A = this chain, B = another copy of it.
Amino acid sequence: MADAGIHEDFSVTGSTKERILHTAARLFSERGFDNVSLRDITTIADVNIAAVNYHFGSKIGLVAYVFDHYAAPVNAARLKLLDECDQKCGDAPPAVEDILWALLSPVFHAPDNGDEGRHFRQMLGRMSSNSNPDVRSILFNTFDIVSARFVDTMSRACPGLPKEELFWRPTCVYGAMMYAQADNGRIRTLSGNSFDSTNMDDALKYMIPFLTAGFTLPPGGKLSAG
């Protein structure tokens, strides 16, 4: 019913509910939560605005559904990999690098996901610092279990690490992860944009050694070799 001239080149196929879901994921990934209106979504999805409240209850219900839809398989993969970290090492401490891989690879190394994976990553990065209480509780509920599991496994990988370190080191990890996901282009222009900074295999290849080096530092500490 809407003017065909303003249709985007992204797919707006499938059922009404699916079109809303995919369009919402794309717009949330580009503009965050507050800068996307239901009218934006329903216009591009070529759907009546009342359909959102019919299928998802409210705008916050929509974003909760979108989050769960994309986060569920990611979290499942993370927990599976964290399980393997524990099994692989027996009674010995698990490997820091494996734990970081378990946390990062399910989000970054998903070339098979195509646009969907990228939309979820950017949406996450965009909303990770949103202050809306409803958005915050969705984020907490979605990632609390795997975050707690990550810190727990990491504390066993680094026995004797004081709790201050177990706060600031994961803070560095989560910050780096979120910032890389949002891909807001701040750093790209400063470091020469002649290469593909959207290659998420590179994100893993370069970030995991970086974060591993920080996390394997002795408590409080300086590196032995300068």
Tell me the A residues contacting B by CB distance below 8 Å: 30-32, 34-35, 125-126, 128-132, 136, 139-140, 143-144, 147-148, 151, 163-172, 174-180, 182, 184, 186-188, 190-192, 194-195, 197, 202-203, 206-207, 209-217, 221-226
| Selected contact of A169 from candidates B31, B210, B226, CB within 8 Å | B210
- New contact pairs (11) apart from A35-B132, A129-B184, A168-B202, CB-CB < 8 Å: A32-B131, A125-B129, A129-B182, A151-B190, A163-B192, A170-B190, A170-B191, A171-B180, A175-B175, A213-B217, A214-B214
Q: Is the CB of B191 within 8 A of A166?
A: yes
Give the number of times this chain occurs in the complex, counting copies: 2
The residue in A144, A172, A197 that gathers the most chain B C-beta atoms within 10 A of its C-beta is A172
Q: Is the CB of B131 within 8 A of A186?
A: no
Q: Is the CB of B174 within 8 A of A187?
A: yes
Contact residues of A: prevailing secondary structure:
helix
Contact status of A30 and B187, CB under 8 A, knowing A165-B206, A180-B168: no
Point out the residues of chain B lying under 8 angstroms from A34, CB to CB: 32, 34-35
What are 9 A-B contacts with C-beta separation under 8 Å?
A34-B34, A128-B179, A129-B178, A147-B187, A147-B190, A163-B192, A172-B210, A179-B179, A210-B215
| Selected contact of A188 from candidates B167, B172, B180, B184, CB within 8 Å | B167
Q: Is the CB of B126 within 8 A of A126?
A: no
Q: Is the CB of A217 within 8 A of B225?
A: no
Q: Is the CB of A210 within 8 A of B203?
A: no
In the assembled complex, the Cα of A77 lies from the Cα of B9 at a distance in Å of 47
Point out the residues of chain B lying under 8 angstroms from A209, CB to CB: 214, 217, 221-223
| Selected contact of A131 from candidates B30, B148, B191, B223, CB within 8 Å | B30
In the assembled complex, the Cα of A32 lies from the Cα of B130 at a distance in Å of 7
In the assembled complex, the Cα of A166 lies from the Cα of B139 at a distance in Å of 31
Point out the residues of chain B lying under 8 angstroms from A164, CB to CB: 195, 202, 206
| Selected contact of A206 from candidates B168, B178, B180, B206, CB within 8 Å | B168
Closest to A125 in B: B129
Output the least CB separation between A128 and chain B (Å): 7
